[in-house]
Amino acid sequence: MQRETLALGWAIATILALQTVAATKCTPRTLHHKARVFEDLSAQELKAVRNFLWSHKELRLEPSRTPTMAKNSVFLIEMLLPKKQHVLKFLDKGGRPPAREARAVIFFGAQEHPNITEFAVGPLPWPYYMRELPPKPGHQATWASRPISSAEYALLGHALKEATKPLHQFFLDTTGFSYQDCHSRCLTFTDVAPRGLASGERRSWFILQLFVEGYFLHPTGLELLLDHRSTNAQNWTVERVWYNGKFYRSPEELARKYEDGEVDVVVLEDPSPKGKSEKSTEEPPLFSSYKPRGDFPTPINVTGPRLVQPQGPRYRLEGNTVLYGGWSFSFRLRSSSGLQVLNVHFGCERVAYEVSVQEAVALYGGHTPAGMQTKYIDVGWGLGSVTHELAPGIDCPDTATFLDALHYYDADDPVRYPRALCVFEMPTGVPLRRHFNSNFSGGFNFYAGLQGQVLVLRTTSTVYNYDYIWDFIFYPNGVMEAKMHATGYVHATFYTPEGLRHGTRLHTHLLGNMHTHLVHYRVDLDVAGTKNSFQTLQMKLENITNPWSPRHQLVQPTLEQTSYHRERQAAFRFRQPLPKYLLFASPRENRWGHKRSYRLQIHSMADQVLPLGWQEEQAITWARYPLAVTKYRESEVCSSSIYNQNDPWDPPVVFEEFLKNNENIENEDLVAWVTVGFLHIPHSEDIPNTATPGNSVGFLLRPFNFFDEDPSLASRDPVIVWPRDGGPNYVQRWIPEEEGDCLMPDPFSYNGTYRPV
Ligand SMILES: [Cu+2]
């Protein structure tokens, strides 16, 4: 079918036409000096808070590393974000910045009834006051809910070593590894959580593993339950032992039965076979190793393509603020919960006040006690603080700007995490828009395309075995994306035939346990102002008499708009239909009379993971909802806490309570809470590691009638090609095709240390 082509000369007319797109002229109002309000604490500030706390002798503080639980110590210091209304007043109307404060978490263990207390310390940089940050009524964090500190881990390691002394010969015989005088053949452990079955308990299952490369994949077959609730480690006791499918009352009982030949023993094969190949002096790699083995049919022995930016970066970093085309935003890396982008503007308007990671959980099934007990709630494992070094060229392009992070978490000084974050622009490899305008007779009227470029802000969290990659992605057309990739080692347990009901055999003695990953995000949209409404659009079929042939019926789609008045109405449960178009609308209209809106588009395979109200489900009630919309409240800024993991039965933060008052959400400051995730049934290709392809989830925030036309029209990147009679095509571009220096990046370097400063 041939479409009518337009008359000649049209192309020329277009070339001559003025560029009528009025470029919005504005300078981002919140440059570095104002964005400081969002900045994480500097080393000096963290030290000032630490010194201020230590100067209060009545707190009787001791170093975090002191090897006892019966002490008072500072566990966490991080920036305490001022109230939103104060920040907005400062940003938009000027005046003095709100007081800069720190949140300090202190474990008071040196008293008969130990407790956890949180304080606000300020004003920074020279603090002179501290005030208690009171928990919500009835929501005091219990002593048992505190995260495990490195001092407690040291004591736990020692306790395990002592407790398993009777099993020395048993371990040597069954694994060739041991805990005593072990040199290169030692055992190690993985602990799981929750730590017990009811509030106030602190008893953990430990999986004993061979301490080799990728030890997560080398269980010995022995798991052990240790009660470590007492602040006196002398009182810690082993309550249960599990070995190869059977329970024992104590290590002594297992050792005795083993000597008597009453234990069904599995002798592990040596993980690193001694049989060195003749060609190589190196030992063959372990199955849990990254070292290459095998060959591709088409071997590759040269380095791959890499990114260059011949004319330098096209984004600007001013402290913690990024300026990129239409975008400007600030960011911080909270030690407790992770990456937060703040004060997100496109053009000259605020689109979101905050988009942030709140929590990441992984809930497991298994046949071993550790497998069936595992419900990891990662903020309780320092989700925001385990931001280890990114490798240039691998974790981020060589051209990225790398930034350090500071965390004061379970430490006595701020600790510098070099290259914890990166910012980079990259081609997406697919055009943002393009069109080939055929003339349907062997040629074209024009070709036009806009290359796809995005700006990425990235960090990672290595929560013990697993690595999450956290991205915020900014597109030139006003679209913003939040994305999590999962990688690293799977959490795995000892293989038993019964375990196959809960996972996959991944090696001789290894079962990859099924689990669900869920991530919770807070999305505080401010779509052209703080007053927004939430509505959805769906498609509804209508059946009408065909107006141009009344003898016929006609079925066609119509728009069905739903408005939501109250929080409960806009809390969508899993397994309940979620409308396709989720819109956050400003009362203002675009040029065409439509409400200026942003659309939330969720990319997730998450589902309900626990029955409502089930014991530990209390800690993750947010996981009931792929989307819940609430009215902004200063008391509802986090959906989880560092305490939810170790007391999931009575956690201090219960998201469900945010919905209880069922507030009006029409023309209010709205917050969207988004749960994304996926079911992970491990498979043999998860060895050695879970790979990122297919293991990413997230959401997009897309303008929907927010602008009058695609705002990427302001980009100078498009290329238009016009055919010319009897001559070469005319290539029209707005950025000269200039040659830049194709600089080689700096040679690869990776330090890997994180040290106090
Ligand atoms: Cu997984």
Q: Which residues are catalytic?
A: 378, 466
CA distance 369 to 94: 58
For residues 598 and 586, what is the distance between their CA atoms, to the nearest angstrom?
A: 9
Neighbours of 445 (CB within 10 A): 18
The C-alpha atoms of residue 494 and residue 250 are separated, in whole angstroms, by 19
> What percentage of the chain carries pLDDT values higher than 90?
88
Q: How far apart are alpha carbons 271 and 629 in whole angstroms?
A: 51
C-alpha of residue 518 to centroid of ligand 1, in Å: 10
Tell me the C-alpha distance between 642 and 431, whole Å. 42
* pLDDT over threshold 70, residue 11: no
| Mean pLDDT to the nearest integer, 476-499 | 98
Cis ω on the peptide bond leading into residue 123 (within 30° of 0)?
A: yes
Q: Give alpha helix (H) positions in 520-618.
A: none
CA distance 469 to 693: 12
The pLDDT assigned to 15 comes to 38
Region of poorest pLDDT, from 45-59, 676-690, 728-742 = 728-742
Residue 228 has pLDDT above 90, yes or no: yes
Task: Give the model's pLDDT for residue 33.
Answer: 79
For residue 507, name the pLDDT band (cuts at 50, 70, 90): very high
Q: Which residues contact 507 (CB under 8 A, 6 or more apart)?
A: 217, 287, 495, 687
- Could you tell me which of 650, 697, 522, 664 has the C-alpha nearest to residue 198? 650
Query: Which residues on adjacent β-strands are paired with residue 108?
Result: 72, 115
Distance, first Cα to last Cα, the chain: 71
| Residue 660 buriedness (CB in 10 A; 0-12 / 13-18 / 19+) | exposed
User: For 538-588, what is each residue's pLDDT tens digit?
Assistant: 999 999 999 999 999 999 999 999 999 999 999 999 999 999 999 999 999
**Nearest CA to 166 among 268, 263, 254, 266?**
254
Tokens of 215: 């030890």
> What number is the average pLDDT over the span 39-65?
98
Q: What is the pLDDT, as a whole number, of residue 103?
A: 98
- Quote the CA–CA distance of 493 and 288 in Å, as a whole number: 14
CA 605 from centre of chain: 16
Using only C-alpha atoms, the chain has a radius of gyration, in whole angstroms, of: 29
Number of residues that this document lists for the chain: 757
Q: What integer is the mean pLDDT of 437-444?
A: 95
**Residue 31: predicted pLDDT:** 62
Residues 571, 554 contacting (CB under 8 angstroms): no
Phi, psi of 630 (to 5 degrees): -125, 165
**Per-residue model confidence (pLDDT) at position 173:** 97
Tokens of 72: 């008072």
- Structure confidence by residue, pLDDT tens digits, 387-440: 999 999 999 999 999 999 999 999 999 999 999 999 999 999 999 999 999 999
Beta carbons within 8 Å of 684's beta carbon, 6+ residues apart: 504, 506
Residue 257 to residues 170, 178, 223, 224, Cα–Cα distance (Å): 10, 19, 16, 16
pLDDT classification of 457: cutoffs 50, 70, 90? very high
pLDDT (0 to 100) of residue 274 = 55
pLDDT at 23: 40
How much is the average pLDDT of 521-534?
Answer: 97
Pairwise CA distance, residues 52 & 32, whole Å: 28
With pLDDT > 70 as the criterion, what percentage of the chain qualifies?
94
- C-alpha 472/C-alpha 700 separation (Å) is 10
DSSP-derived 3-state class of residue 233? helix
With 60 as the cut, is the pLDDT of residue 4 above it?
no
For the chain, the average pLDDT equals 93
Interatomic CA distance for residues 293 and 333, integer angstroms: 38
Question: Ligand 1 center to residue 483 CA distance, Å?
Answer: 16
Cα(490) to centroid(ligand 1), Å: 6
- Give me ligand 1 centre to Cα 116, in Å: 32
Collect residues with CB below 5 Å from ion ligand 1.
680
Confidence of residue 19 (pLDDT cuts 50, 70, 90): very low
pLDDT greater than 90 at residue 747: no
Ligand 1 centroid from CA 185, angstroms: 28
Question: Alpha carbon of 569 to those of 623, 625, 631, 659, 661: distances in Å?
Answer: 17, 12, 12, 10, 12
Residue 701 reports pLDDT greater than 60? yes
pLDDT, greater one: 18 or 686: 686
CA of 690 to the centre of ligand 1 (A): 7
- What value does the mean pLDDT take over residues 266-277? 73
Exposure string over 347-381, b if 16+ CB within 10 A, otherwise e:
bebbbbbbbbbbbbbbbbebbbbbbbbbbbbbbbb
pLDDT digits (tens, 9 = 90+) for 68-93: 999 999 999 999 999 999 999 999 99
Those residues whose C-beta lies under 8 Å from the C-beta of residue 365, and which sit 6 or more positions away, are 371, 372, 502, 503, 513, 514, 515
pLDDT of residue 739: 74
Q: What's the confidence (pLDDT) of residue 745?
A: 79
Q: Which of 688, 693, 213 is nearest to 489 (CA)?
A: 688
In this predicted model, what pLDDT tens digit does every residue of 312-349 receive, in sequence order? Answer: 999 999 999 999 999 999 999 999 999 999 999 999 89
pLDDT given for residue 9 in this prediction: 43
Name the residue among 384, 380, 377, 359 with its Cα closest to residue 460.
384
pLDDT at site 748: 87
Whether the per-residue pLDDT at 741 is higher than 80: the answer is no
DSSP secondary-structure letter at 392? B
193-222 pLDDT tens trace: 999 999 999 999 999 999 999 999 999 999
* Strand stretches in 527-580, DSSP E: 533-545, 553-563, 571-572
Distance 649 CA to ligand 1 centre (A): 24
Confidence tier at 26 by pLDDT (50, 70, 90): low
Ligand 1 midpoint to CA 514 (Å): 8
H helix and E strand count, the chain: 9, 37
CA distance 97 to 348: 21
Q: Which residues contact 609 (CB under 8 A, 6 or more apart)?
A: 363, 516, 518, 620, 623
